Chain A
């Protein structure tokens, strides 16, 4: 799982408003979630191993442009094979854990939580 943080930061990098995935701490959330399922653990280990053996260096040591190229391939790969399935499952988990954090909502027209303020009108 050593490359998981690097993969997550390609998915969700820092920008002017919000922190990177690794800075937000979701790597731990995802690792814990995956550990609860043997099947999910096998998928993650197989995919990360595949990613770490695409070049002479592990994924985390590739140049950012190379990392992005790998992810773009995986995004459109067959969902019934490991790279494609891993990409979409990891992405779904990553955005769910990431946008559940208050710091990730910065820049959106939202309160950190729906209550107690709510969103009284006018809304125009």
Chain B
């Protein structure tokens, strides 16, 4: 199999950023070779939501769909934060004592290698960053500014929403829009309505959460039938994952060559500073591929890893790393979850996962204490009996079985995600000891919760507990980043900026060091935002970079 020749650009990674970039480049008439490290998933075969036992399965794992990740310094469990410790009414009555190292959870860095990347298991939240999040330094004196503003991305956000088929309701939360959402909002489920009513009494403004999930047929895709299992893989194609949106449409141009199970192992810079070629393992064979233009979109863990793996005698710190910022500024997902049981509530397992959201007032003004709350009953797996039996309903015997039946549909879960300020101890580097199947060092994640993060976690817990109490809930479970590293959204390891001394890429995503290298994933985010899911922003940035590539 020869991959060289016949293409104008090479894209590494087919998730949110790679797929959107490939689509745009194809639109501009470029012939694109897209290399995806993972396999192609077949929804009919792989997403077994029509088989008994579905609740035991998460998103399917196939050969090559999970990268090996190791963990460095994740901080320590402090006795002073025991009030944030995880527990559940029916779970194991044991937890790590204070003084223990904070471990990675079973999921750890939760990701998918595959055609469509981690959009395959996202629930489709389609958030625009708050305009003030781009100007945090200017507004608050903290953290840094983005080298671009909301107005630069606004038209692109609209375009992305059209490709995905985003359903939402226009509300005045500061994220101004020049175009309406393509599709009407999804109805709120019973759990979301309960939170909306309780939140209103506390001046928490709960509203429809915009989703890249179809509320009506759109283009060639059907409407959602609310099975509630988005994170297990969408068998209908109504969820706007990259495989059924950007990649399908890019394929329709006839200019996309997509190769799955293609593991890029090294980039080579030429004497002119441009990235001349890459090495990849495809179907067990080594390939050398020319890179007239290279778009790197492997995510905030694998992107810095590949740049660091590509070090040479002239660039011993890795490619694109004259600033020394590759792998630094890592930001994890700062998360909290409170779950309560609400007597009389019925049907909380119905609706769309994460159907309602409540932005904290700190979003406006770009404050570092910004976070969001969302209704997470379905997303956290409380839409089946195993979830109830293992986490919420304790006991055994007939009493237990009866209690499970009577309480099913009355669980109410509030999730929260907050901003993370990068810390000098946090980053992605190459593990000096552990290697992958190719014999290459794996990515090692270090991520330490700062006092600022722990303080924000407490604020998030307070807000989540308050709305649950107002809804009449009795707490039955809580979990958070305090006890274990779990991250779905990761950022910052090749950050963008105008100054080449302090950033890896420029304001349009182009490497300061290599003129034909572009990065279009969340590694370029200078800040994490205030709890927004990043996929929409990644995609908008990818379109912007692709437009710049095409001139």
Say whether B93 faces chain A, with CB atoms less than 8 Å apart.
yes
- What residue of chain B has the Cβ atom nearest to residue A105's Cβ? B385
Nearest residue (CB) in B for A84 is: B93
Give per-residue flags for B153-190: 1 if the beta carbon is below 8 A from chain A beta carbons, else 0.
00000000000000000000000000000000001011
Size bin of chain B's contact surface: 35 or more
The reply to whether A88 and B390 contact each other, CB–CB distance below 8 Å, is: no
Specify which of B93, B351, B397 is in contact with A123 (CB 8 Å cutoff): B351
Given contacts A18-B401, A75-B396, A99-B384, contact A119 B227 (CB under 8 A): yes
Q: Does B220 contact A (CB under 8 A)?
A: no
Give residues 367-395 of B contacting A (CB, 8 Å): 384-386, 389-390, 394-395
The answer to whether B405 touches A107 (Cβ under 8 A) is: yes
**Could you tell me if B386 and A96 are in contact, using CB atoms closer than 8 angstroms?**
yes
Q: Is B402's beta carbon under 8 Å from chain A?
A: yes
Q: Is the interface of B mostly helix, strand, loop or mixed?
A: loop
Q: Identify which of A10, A99, A113, A115 contacts B396 (C-beta below 8 A).
A: A10
Taking a contact as CB atoms under 8 Å apart, the answer to whether A71 and B385 are in contact is: no
A71 to B394, alpha carbons, bound, how many Å? 13
Do residues B226 and A121 form an inter-chain contact, with CB atoms below 8 A?
Answer: yes
A63 CB to nearest B CB, Å: 14
Say yes or no: A119 contacts B226, CB within 8 Å: yes
What's the least CB distance linking A113 to chain B, in Å?
5
* In-complex Cβ contact of A79 among B51, B54, B92, B347 (8 A): B92
Q: Is the Cβ of A104 less than 8 Å from the Cβ of B189? A: no
Per-residue CB contact flags for chain A residues 64-104 toward chain B (1 = under 8 Å, else 0) read 00001001000100011000100010011001100111101
| Option from B50, B229, B384, B390 in Cβ contact (under 8 Å) with A92 | B390
Q: Does B138 sit within 8 A of A, measured CB to CB?
A: no
Residues of B within 8 A of A101 (CB): 52-53
- Is A110 engaged at the interface, CB distance under 8 Å to the other chain? yes
B56 at the interface (CB under 8 A from A): yes
Contact A113 to B49, CB < 8 A, known contacts A95-B390, A99-B386: yes
For residues 108 through 124 of chain A, which have their beta carbon under 8 Å from a beta carbon of chain B?
A: 108-110, 112-124
Docked-complex contact B385 and A99, CB < 8 angstroms: yes
Q: Which residue of A lies closest to B188 (CB)?
A: A123
Name the residue on A nearest B229 (C-beta).
A114
CB of A113 within 8 A of CB of B92, answer no
Interchain nearest-CB distance for B195 vs A (Å): 15
Task: Check A108–B49 contact: CB distance below 8 A.
Answer: no
Which residues from B are CB-within-8-Å of A75? 394-396
B225 at the interface (CB under 8 A from A): yes
Mark B85-105 against chain A: 1 for CB-CB distance below 8 A, else 0.
000000011100000000000
Please give the distance in Å from B56's CB to the nearest CB on chain A.
Answer: 5
* Sample of 12 A–B contacts (CB below 8 Å): A12-B397, A15-B401, A18-B401, A79-B93, A84-B93, A99-B384, A104-B385, A108-B405, A112-B52, A115-B49, A119-B225, A121-B187
Binding site for A on B (CB under 8 A): 49-56, 92-94, 187, 189-190, 224-229, 235-236, 347, 349-351, 384-386, 389-390, 394-398, 400-402, 404-405, 408-409
Additional A-B contact list (9), CB under 8 Å, known A13-B398, A99-B384, A115-B235 = A95-B386, A99-B385, A99-B386, A108-B405, A114-B228, A115-B50, A118-B224, A119-B225, A124-B190
Sorted nearest first, the 10 A-B pairs with minimum C-beta distance are: A118-B225, A95-B389, A114-B227, A100-B53, A99-B385, A115-B49, A118-B227, A123-B350, A115-B50, A102-B52
